Chains A and B, each alone.
Chain A
């Protein structure tokens, strides 16, 4: 039998090849999907994990443990215990043992921590030697400068309840990679709580020698990225188990990894949903086309069937000979499809991670491919069913009797099912979360509409034909009749309609996703490129960037702060004059740059470009700072110690800051009741000079220490001169706009009386209303920044719940009063929630160095040398991001990967529809060529015959494509709930680069080009076969015997026997 089947296939190669190709395509899609899914699920997990801050992968197990002298180290036993509890794959592990202590230094003491941390010296930039012996410590640069200590210096640790331990400073440190994984779990760099020292790093032996009774232990684990690649639910379970074991052991587990795992899980869920829906659509389409192809080519197998049935062949033999002619190419297609699917999946999804993944994906691919072929066989049997069950006499007829009611019933059922599916998707969907049905809705709607439209097209074509005939246009009339009566035309119409609808839907989704990624990347990153730099402070950052790019066109200094207290999101401090040139401003609601909708409060801040308006609102005109260089200074002043400290001398201390933010002080005095000029010498401000921050009044009893001026003490300041001349004139001292008290809420500020060419500072007593812990200030701050600081906000900003100006609290610094100058839809890098201030104004308003993160934003086209210039300016680059990189990261997420597969499946769908057109054309060619030849011989002009040949194909394709495109647009804006654009929500608005109508037209035209080309080739072949391509109209095409009339004996079935 098999030889017989092979012989049959060899004779009917074209049909066999068609079935083979279609099955190959279907199996390839089905087999590629699981591999692609596995690979993409891994890829998106990898992308999610890579783009998440490393802190999200941190897991910290902490506890307090008693330490007994002489019992040995506590760190490593704790680490081993923690490893047993966690059972998680870790990328790195850091054991951190710390002890709270009081650090005594020259001139004072400060609370802080002695910290023994694994391998710490490898992650520090050390000036000096790594402290590797008990009693040795490394001190942070900030504290070393503040304390005036250097390697070789001495400190004393005095832990509660133990004897003082002398410490030798062997090195001054700065963190080498503060944004790296090593420091991600650390909570003390940058000073931690306000006023506390940065950690003193030492070996564990130092801590033990300090004689503490208990130590804080932290085991910081960076969970291996690969551990998060598996299903998110799995990771969440492991974390939950680890947490409960830790709690049982009396330890605290802290981690954000569950959130990241959840993100990965959702991303994988979305890609599974998207890819499976697309694969299902494609497989459904393949089955539809296979049914069409098998049913169309079944006519050629009818004589075989008739013969076998005539000879009384057994049923199984009849089925074998007929179905095997489809089954054998299908099984060959299975093999080809496996190969093709594997290559396709590899090309699209890449390699899999391990043999387990490969085995799993291959098994699922094999099952999916086999499932498709089983479905295809069922489809083939269904297509042959009617013929195989027909009476012999029916089979002997050359033209089978039409049974329109069956086709009608099938169409009706399909339309009903599709309509029910669409309704279900619409009615039960959450309208935000996609489901299988909601993703399949466009295809279902297209199917329903295309089937109905196909039914409507036939009578329309018939009417057109009648009208054309009356008008004497024979060619058009015949072409219309052909369209109206062509068997299977409605199937071709539906297929083309659905294929085009799926392509347009996929293209619309892709474009929307692409636009959204571009917009979100710009919004997240803030500028074309963003460099993370290491800087000593805001002033140094600002000065460094300005010196690296004096033009102001390419680089802008930015500092990022976490906001404390109420208010929208984080704070971004920018060098406002460079904002318009450098920042990428996010789009607003209608896709225009958001500042167009900016509501400028107070007005008068500038006109013209909206970003420029915001920038100028952030930086109103202010007096220049007072800058002093090294050299002799003089201060003309008078003082009165007041009643509390009679006879004491009054002194005035000037507080200055270097460009790097380092504090420098110089003290003038003594001053008595008489106005006098006192000299002092400034040093430490050689390079760029120091900015004068404030002038503070002190008092000193004879022989006593200098102390803060007591309540009631007064100084009058008249003139400050520096090496370059008068720095503050009497007029400036007397100007009320130039002086203010401290911004600190809990400081009792002095009474400042600027008037008559002098500034009087009268120290005030403690203010009990400020509560315990409040401090007294005797300083007058020189105003060189707007008061309050101008602020632009995105998001809702609640009014302050206390009287007075609203305050901007930022971590590690005094909250400063601000004034809202503009509200915008979104801010660069911060999006819909955050605040923006001017960096220079903020730096002038803050008391000391601050900032969580220092960045340099670069505009497109920034010179490459800028990076080196920044390093030379003391701003070494420690990290880099860019809009392009962010876009690429987002492209690696689940939804875009699913959309790519969907687009590919849609392209395959169009190719399938083209295949169906080719099959229909090839199968019908002989019959139709016979008809046309007969008409030609009866005098039909060649031109009219050509019109019939082309007119019977192309209008069908064009009309169906149009129906598909329109349906896709309707579906897109009514029933389809597309895949979310991003795995994590985004409230932004894509800036439309190509309008949806253009995408629709382009996608429909692309599909039409392919389908039209196939239809044209088929029509040309038909015209050639009918001899209508030549000018003479002579034809050699054979004229088929007239169909419909049965031959002898078979003629017995001319009608139905009674």
Chain B
């Protein structure tokens, strides 16, 4: 299985809560190329986990379109989505232990995760031991989750996630409770999987270093794609509705309702402060390169 492309177009998701509705995603546009590794970063409550849940087909978007490979997830039935999760989308939940049946060996856990894919004709699945070797746990097949160190536990969770050779692997906070060494082992395992199988990998993380190491980091803020970092450089992103999120440090200088004029000239966009410029800000500071 090669990596799957992911595309989100103006994705909106609203939670119905007792006191009132909560908008978790308010028009997310995101494209991920097949075989790409990407980190979704952002503060708690920004909507990154919701986005991953939509990508995993665990929820349906309230509006917009989410597609994985050739599948428009919004149009699939529950059964088709379940099949997709069993074959083409691997999911690793936050907290390694939640991904593993505590009473089954690692081999058995992997075997169980392969059952759906194993029923498909023409699919050849790796042996559980081979998968464990892929994440650096060769020979640990008979162990149970309780027998493993935290880092190994997280890699075992990754092994279950990739057991069915998915084209897309969604990983939620894989390094949040690990020390540096453990984190590096997990990231190495992810890189190995990506390199050997070409799997598209999306990792949700708070850790900007993880984002930097994966090559592409998309920042989610207030339910939108706020910025994107590539190869050590940060970019603002134009959303499908034409909006751009200003970096927080810039936004602090201009309260909501501030008026600008926008000049676009040969690849340069210039924002000119309107009638009520904010104190301490100079219009010359506001050029945004494209």
Contacts and interface: CB of A to CB of B under 8 A. Distances in A.
A311 B13 contact: no
B84 A312 contact: yes
A577 interface: no
Contacts of A11: 102-103
B241 to A, nearest CB: 20
Given A8-B103, A313-B115, A1052 B53 contact: yes
A1049 B172 contact: yes
Contact of A1058 (B21, B99, B113): B21
Interface in A5-63: 7-8, 10-11
A306 B97 CA distance: 13
B104 A4 contact: yes
A312 B15 contact: no
Interface in B13-45: 13-18, 21-22, 24
Interface in A198-241: none
Interface stretch (B55-63, B192-200, B222-230): B55-63
Interface string A308-325: 111111100100000000
Given A1049-B93, A1058-B21, A314 B115 contact: yes
Given A4-B101, A4-B104, A1057-B59, A314 B116 contact: yes
B154 interface: no
Nearest to B109: A307
Interface in B94-140: 94-95, 98-104, 108, 112-113, 115-116
Q: Which of A308, A311, A391, A1057 has the most CB of B within 10 A?
A: A311
Nearest to B163: A311
Contacts of B115: 311, 313-314, 317
A348 interface: no
B185 interface: no
Given A311-B86, A313-B115, A1058-B62, A1049 B49 contact: yes
B17 A1052 contact: no
A781 B116 CA distance: 114
A308 B83 CA distance: 12
B159 interface: no
B68 to A, nearest CB: 14
B91 interface: yes
A802 interface: no
Nearest to B47: A1052
A933 B76 CA distance: 46
B85 interface: yes
Contacts of A1056: 15-16
Contacts of B53: 393, 1049, 1052-1053
Nearest to A312: B86
Contacts of A1058: 13-16, 21, 62
Contact of B112 (A303, A311, A392, A1052): A311
Contacts of A306: 98
B204 to A, nearest CB: 7
Contacts, number: 109
B16 A303 contact: no
Given A311-B112, A314-B116, A1052 B49 contact: yes
A1048 B94 contact: yes
B175 interface: no
B82 interface: yes
Interface of A is mostly: helix
A1054 B50 CA distance: 10
A1047 interface: yes
B52 interface: yes
Given A311-B112, A1048-B49, A393 B59 contact: yes
A1014 B53 CA distance: 44
Contacts of B113: 311
B204 A311 contact: no
B67 interface: no
B87 interface: yes
A197 B68 CA distance: 116
A284 interface: no
Interface in A566-585: none
Q: Interface centre among A3, A317, A392, by most B CB within 10 Å?
A: A392
Interface residues of A, number: 34
Contacts of A1050: 93-94
A1055 interface: yes
A1054 B83 contact: no
A860 interface: no
Contacts of B160: 311
B94 A1049 contact: yes
Given A312-B84, A312-B116, A1047-B95, A1054 B15 contact: yes
A313 B93 contact: no
Given A4-B108, A1049-B94, A1049-B204, A393 B101 contact: no
Contact of B58 (A8, A314, A393): A393
Contacts of B100: 307
Nearest to B23: A1058
A307 B99 contact: yes
B93 to A, nearest CB: 6
A307 B161 CA distance: 11
A739 B284 CA distance: 156
A171 to B, nearest CB: 91
A312 B91 CA distance: 11
Contacts of B21: 1058
A1054 B59 CA distance: 12
A312 B59 contact: no
Contact of A1048 (B17, B24, B173): B173
A824 interface: no
Given A8-B101, A10-B103, A308 B15 contact: no
A1057 B50 CA distance: 10
B22 A1055 contact: yes
A184 B284 CA distance: 131
Contacts of A396: 58, 93
B49 A312 contact: no
Most chain A CB neighbours (cut-off 10 Å) among B58, B98, B101, B160: B58
Given A4-B104, A1048-B94, A311 B16 contact: no
A392 B82 CA distance: 10
A313 B95 contact: no
A1048 to B, nearest CB: 4
Contacts of B204: 1048-1049
A118 interface: no
A759 to B, nearest CB: 113
A396 B14 CA distance: 19
Nearest to B170: A1049
Contacts of A3: 108
Contacts of B60: 1057
Interface string A1023-1058: 000000000000000000000000111111111111
A924 interface: no
A309 B116 CA distance: 11
A271 B207 CA distance: 75
A304 interface: yes
A311 B93 contact: no
Interface in A300-345: 303-304, 306-314, 317
A-B pairs, 6 with minimum CB distance: A312-B86, A1052-B53, A1055-B15, A7-B103, A1048-B94, A11-B103
Given A393-B53, A1052-B58, A1053-B53, 13 more contacts: A11-B103, A304-B101, A306-B98, A309-B82, A310-B93, A1047-B93, A1049-B204, A1051-B49, A1053-B58, A1057-B14, A1057-B15, A1058-B13, A1058-B16
29 contacts: A4-B101, A4-B112, A307-B100, A307-B101, A310-B58, A310-B85, A311-B113, A312-B83, A313-B86, A313-B115, A314-B115, A391-B58, A393-B53, A396-B93, A1047-B93, A1048-B49, A1048-B94, A1048-B173, A1049-B172, A1050-B93, A1050-B94, A1052-B52, A1052-B59, A1053-B58, A1053-B59, A1056-B15, A1057-B13, A1057-B59, A1058-B13
Interface of B: 13-18, 21-22, 24, 49-50, 52-53, 56, 58-60, 62, 82-87, 91, 93-95, 98-104, 108, 112-113, 115-116, 160, 164, 172-173, 204
